[in-house]
């Protein structure tokens, strides 16, 4: 007999029982089950935002296949929801309730339950509910899981008290981070990954009576209450209810100071008592328990006093609050002492366990609310790309980081955390921050002053949110534009990269580190040491990457001249930290083969620390030691002995710390190596002023995204625009012209800012505040006729000129490698837009991308061509040069190839036949000089004089005039005989060899 029939029979039998008996059996006060889904067809398969069931996944293969299947053994009715799945990334399904109706009220029930057809896989299935907000796509996500560990139908019951607020992702940011249950918008299941499977589900319903511990909870104002010796700590204890209703029943809290490292009666006066929040008390009411501490006039580390709470009638706090008597009287706390002495004093007091903690960096999501910061003496936390607080505001960043810093106050020596982020083109993780051009665009400006100002804006906005450490700048020398990180490089010439390293001063201030404690400076990171920009195509073994994290195969001379030179410059500029590369280094002739940089002691200890004199600390890349050969103990031992001082182990921080301690105790890592690493870390923490000011100084927060900061970004965007072709003087545009604008990147702030913007990979669309190129054009010419048709489908008649903005969509790291789903061709839609507009009128094509795009087959039909790179949030800067408010002055930071088959192609190559050579860039600043070779001879003399006098300004000006003369004669007839000396001249200019640069330009002029 079906279970359905049994249920009906049971219902009839219950109806014949006396009311008293029925009430006794079921509990008169317990509400009946509340049906959510029966899967009989009442809930359709649909798409958001309509009510219905829809699937989702990380890629096209990940969403499961669903159907409503008739089954004889269906627990409820005739049908069940069944499905098949084969998920490599993530995937699952959601039932959203209609967005145009009130949310469902689940607050009277204990939890949610459903039938699951178990396969006994032992795999976990995540179950998520959507609470509060405007609708199912603008709600808070609360999550838990169950394990498939049975066979056949089983009813899974999940009390609402099991759900936890998701800290890794929220669709619109936190609303109140309180599971209210009065406005519920649906639920979702995330299915297991890795192996194909099937499932069946039925009868989703609400069950039970809500218990007071769910609807009412006791909270403490903080988990940690630091207090100076002799002071009194006030532990705030409050009560909160679902929906902020008054208490329906009294809540009693008993408290007692017990345990901890402080001594009762000697370090503090013990407290014990009880208080009650009576029925009717307003939600949010607070009671303060005072814990007096005593002075004993002895210098000592911090001591803890846990305040144990016993709650009746509500859910108790998740943690026992701790009063902490601050460390006092110890030399390392004296800000007047030299940093070196403070470091030595603190180091001498620390245990091996505490030292290992300082060498450990965890990701903020992994530590949850932060209790493990003190439990494992963690030295650092980071936010990975896109790992943001909710809501993603400056205030929320500061509050989050202050919360983690407060946890560090519960450790013996109260060593502050150093919090790090990848702010690679502004505070790019923060919505509303100023997003500057990526490094490739900064390199195109050829302006060290702009690079320094960009660093200063980034530092000010990052530090104003409580973050003292930036994993930037990338000093890679990009040698192959198939690399997905090309845009993180200033260019293909080490001389150009070195010139742009003024960004280090913009971030850190003075070379000696004396400015690091300022509220507008951060610790910088030179990355990725060494050779990440030189990896060979096809050498990567990381997933589907083709070049990123691969092998750099060079002679020792090439290594020194190309890849190491920028790091020596960074060390000379006082950079505080260095990050090794994921890639491997294979030096031709040493017969050692490829060596992973995180294991390369010869380069990290020998070259970076010993020869170059780097005195900061080395931080690993994300989980990079896991790529080393051998077991985990070997990974830890090898990397630390190679010279890594702090290891980024996002979620494996417990295992890393334990393993590190074990390796030291076994004698496989020397204690002196540990002391060296921790000394380096502590030195930077003292320089940053974190011991005196561990919490966020938000006095500069008003400047985040300010007009002043955006003006810097706007100037950088304008200077980064490289005018590659300008037949007939199409640019600059005239405000009187009727302009037809088209292309995928004309009006998309996400595409314009690229990867590493709000999220790791970035994304298309309105992801942050800013001005698109189209919006900038309309602002620059407010009275002009400017029409926009993204795909150029609108009629093209009646326009004077077209502007087609095309290029790439966002990506980051190896995800963007050519061959990993990417190439250097424009999309068919972009090609069609270029063809239609340029076939109908004079046109200018702007390429918004992180690297050159292959445009040669259309170049003859394009009147003006601009390499716009990834200009950031300030499209006004692009409009400034389009309309002539500022001149085009940018120069190519990389060689622009004719075909992908030419790659890699770089300045200095013996066979050099590009579309546009390194350094190419027309200008609208001034007209080229006349006089031909006679003028070049005069310029050669002037260049020699500038070189002899050491006048960089005069030398650049002279070479610049010679460049204009050559470019005017060459036009678009760029032959190898022209391109090679032209590119060489730019390298010589960057190297300060002005006379030689003019000589090369003369050679190019004669070849034209």
Hey, which residues are catalytic here? 621, 813
The 8-class DSSP code of residue 300 comes to B
Q: What is the 3-state secondary structure (H, E, C) of 685-740?
A: HHHCCCCCCCCCCHHHHHHCCCHHHHHHHHHHHHHHCEEEEEHHHCCCCCCCCCEE
Q: What are phi and psi of 894, to 5 degrees?
A: -140, 160
Degrees (nearest 5) of the Cα angle 14, 15, 18? 85
Sign of CA dihedral 836, 841, 847, 852: positive
Calculated CA dihedral for residues 596, 599, 603, 608, nearest 10 degrees: 120
**Residues contacting 698, CB < 8 A, separation 6+:** 394, 395, 398, 464, 465, 466
Neighbours of 538 (CB within 10 A): 11
Calculated CA dihedral for residues 985, 986, 987, 991, nearest 10 degrees: 100
DSSP codes of every residue in 952-993:
HHHHHHHHHHHHHHHHHHHTT---HHHHHHHHHHHHHHHTT-
Neighbours of 9 (CB within 10 A): 11
β pairing state of 842-848 and 232-241: unpaired
> What is the gyration radius of the CA atoms in the chain, in angstroms?
32
HSE (side-chain half, CA atoms, 13 Å) at 718:
23
d(CA 238, CA 618): 44
CB 62 within 8 A of CB 89: yes
CB 105 within 8 A of CB 185: no
Report residue 935 as tokens. Answer: 């003028």
Neighbours of 144 (CB within 10 A): 18
DSSP codes of every residue in 230-276:
T-EEEEEEEEEEGGGPPPSS-EEEEEEE--SSSPBTTTB---EEEEE
Neighbours of 184 (CB within 10 A): 24
DSSP codes of every residue in 38-58:
--SSSS-B--TTSSEEEEEES
Q: Chain-centre distance of CA 919, in angstroms?
A: 31
Report residue 165 as tokens. Answer: 């607020």
Calculated CA dihedral for residues 46, 52, 55, 56, nearest 10 degrees: 90
d(CA 1007, CA 1001): 10
Q: What are phi and psi of 412, to 5 degrees?
A: -55, -45
Q: What are phi and psi of 938, to 5 degrees?
A: -65, -40
**Residues contacting 13, CB < 8 A, separation 6+:** none
Of 428, 381, 342, the C-alpha closest to 812 is: 428
**Residues contacting 980, CB < 8 A, separation 6+:** 912, 917
Q: What is the 3-state secondary structure (H, E, C) of 371-432?
A: HHHHHCCCCEEEECCCCCCCCCCHHHHHHHHHHHHHHHCCCCCCCCCEEEECCCCECCCCCC
**Residues contacting 576, CB < 8 A, separation 6+:** 508, 513, 516, 523, 524, 525, 616, 617, 684, 687
**Residues contacting 631, CB < 8 A, separation 6+:** none
């Amino acid at each position: 007999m079906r279970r359905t029939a049994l249920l009906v029979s049971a219902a009839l039998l219950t109806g014949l029982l006396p009311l008293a008996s029925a009430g006794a059996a079921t509990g008169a006060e317990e509400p009946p089950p509340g049906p959510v889904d029966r899967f009989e067809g009442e809930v359709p398969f649909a798409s958001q935002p309509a009510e219905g069931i829809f699937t989702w996944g990380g890629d096209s293969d990940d969403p499961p296949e669903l159907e409503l299947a008739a089954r004889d053994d269906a627990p409820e009715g005739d049908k069940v929801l069944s499905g098949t799945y084969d998920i490599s990334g993530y995937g699952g399904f959601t039932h959203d309730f209609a967005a145009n109706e009130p949310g469902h009220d689940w607050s009277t029930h204990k939890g949610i339950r459903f039938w699951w057809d178990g396969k006994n896989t032992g795999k976990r299935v995540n179950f998520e509910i959507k609470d509060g907000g405007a609708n199912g796509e603008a709600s808070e996500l609360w999550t838990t899981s169950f394990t498939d560990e049975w066979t056949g139908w089983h009813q899974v019951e999940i009390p609402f008290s099991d759900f936890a607020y998701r800290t890794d992702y929220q669709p619109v940011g936190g609303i109140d981070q309180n599971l209210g249950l009065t406005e519920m918008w649906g639920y979702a299941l995330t299915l297991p990954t890795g192996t194909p499977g099937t499932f069946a589900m039925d009868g989703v319903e609400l069950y039970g009576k809500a218990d007071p511990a769910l609807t009412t909870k006791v909270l403490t104002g903080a988990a940690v209450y630091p207090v100076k010796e002799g002071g009194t700590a006030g532990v705030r204890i409050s009560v909160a209810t679902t929906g902020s209703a008054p208490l329906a029943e009294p809540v009693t809290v008993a408290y007692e100071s017990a345990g901890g490292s402080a001594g009762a009666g000697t370090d503090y006066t013990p407290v014990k008592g009880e208080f009650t929040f009576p029925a009717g008390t307003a939600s949010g009411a607070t009671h303060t328990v005072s814990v007096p501490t005593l002075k004993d006039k002895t210098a000592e580390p911090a001591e803890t006093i846990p305040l144990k709470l016993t709650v009746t009638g509500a859910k108790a706090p998740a943690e026992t609050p701790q009063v902490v008597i601050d460390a006092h009287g110890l030399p390392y706390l004296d800000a007047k002492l030299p940093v070196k002495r403070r470091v030595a004093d603190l180091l001498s007091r620390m245990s091996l366990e505490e030292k290992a903690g300082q060498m450990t960096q965890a990701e903020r999501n992994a530590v949850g609310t932060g209790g493990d910061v003190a439990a494992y003496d963690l030295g650092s936390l980071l936010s990975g790309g896109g790992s943001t607080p909710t809501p993603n505001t400056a205030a929320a960043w500061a509050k989050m980081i202050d919360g983690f810093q407060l946890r560090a106050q519960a450790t013996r020596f109260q060593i502050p955390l150093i919090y790090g982020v990848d702010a690679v083109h502004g505070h790019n993780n923060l919505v509303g921050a100023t997003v500057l051009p990526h490094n490739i665009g900064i390199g195109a400006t050829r302006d060290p002053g702009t690079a320094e100002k960009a660093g200063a804006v980034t530092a000010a906005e990052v530090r104003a949110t409580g973050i003292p450490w930036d994993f930037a700048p990338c000093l890679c020398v990009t040698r192959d534009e198939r690399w997905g990180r090309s845009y993180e490089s200033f260019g293909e010439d080490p001389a150009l990269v070195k010139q742009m390293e003024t960004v280090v001063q913009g971030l850190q201030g003075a070379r000696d580190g004396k400015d690091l404690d300022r509220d507008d400076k951060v610790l910088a990171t030179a990355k990725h040491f060494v050779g990440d920009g030189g990896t060979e195509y096809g050498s990567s073994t990381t997933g589907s990457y083709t070049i990123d994290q691969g092998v750099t195969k060079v002679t020792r001379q090439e290594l020194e001249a190309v890849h190491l030179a920028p790091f020596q410059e960074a060390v000379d500029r006082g950079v505080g930290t260095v990050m090794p590369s994921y890639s491997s280094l294979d030096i031709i002739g040493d017969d050692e083969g490829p060596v992973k940089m995180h294991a390369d002691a010869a380069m990290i200890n020998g070259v970076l620390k010993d020869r170059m004199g780097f005195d900061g600390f080395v931080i690993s890349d994300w989980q990079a030691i896991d790529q080393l050969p051998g077991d985990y103990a070997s990974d830890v031992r090898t990397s630390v002995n190679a010279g890594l001082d702090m290891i980024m182990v996002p979620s494996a921080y417990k295992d890393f710390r334990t393993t590190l301690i074990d390796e030291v105790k076994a004698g496989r890592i020397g204690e002196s190596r540990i002391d060296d690493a921790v000394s380096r870390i502590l030195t930077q923490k003292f320089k940053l002023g974190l011991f005196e000011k561990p919490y966020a100084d938000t006095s500069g927060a008003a400047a985040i995204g300010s007009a002043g900061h955006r003006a810097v970004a706007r100037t950088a965007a304008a200077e980064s625009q490289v005018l590659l072709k300008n037949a007939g003087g199409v640019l600059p545009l005239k405000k009187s012209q009727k302009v037809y604008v088209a292309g995928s990147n004309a009006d998309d702030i996400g595409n314009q800012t690229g990867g590493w913007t709000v999220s790791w990979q970035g994304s298309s669309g309105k992801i942050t505040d800013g001005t698109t190129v189209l919006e900038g054009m309309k602002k620059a010419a407010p009275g002009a006729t400017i029409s926009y048709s993204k795909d150029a489908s609108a009629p093209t008649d009646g326009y004077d000129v077209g502007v087609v903005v095309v290029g790439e969509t966002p990506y980051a790291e190896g995800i963007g490698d050519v061959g990993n789903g990417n190439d250097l061709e424009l999309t068919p839609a972009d090609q069609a837009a270029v063809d239609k507009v340029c076939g109908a009128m004079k046109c200018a094509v702007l390429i918004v991308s992180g690297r050159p795009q292959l445009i040669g087959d259309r170049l003859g039909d394009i009147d003006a061509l601009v390499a716009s790179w990834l200009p950031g949030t300030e499209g006004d800067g692009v409009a400034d040069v389009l309309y002539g408010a500022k001149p085009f002055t940018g120069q190519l930071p990389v060689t622009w190839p004719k075909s992908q088959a030419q790659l890699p192609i770089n300045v200095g190559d013996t066979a050099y036949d590009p579309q546009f050579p390194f350094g190419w860039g027309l200008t609208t600043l001034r007209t080229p000089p006349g006089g031909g070779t006679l003028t070049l001879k005069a310029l050669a003399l002037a260049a020699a004089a500038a070189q002899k006098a050491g006048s960089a300004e005069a030398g650049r000006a002279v070479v610049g005039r010679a460049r204009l003369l050559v470019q005017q004669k060459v036009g678009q007839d760029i032959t190898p005989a022209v391109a090679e000396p032209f590119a060489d001249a730019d390298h010589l200019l960057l190297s300060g060899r002005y006379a030689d640069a003019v000589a090369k330009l003369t050679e190019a002029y004669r070849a034209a």
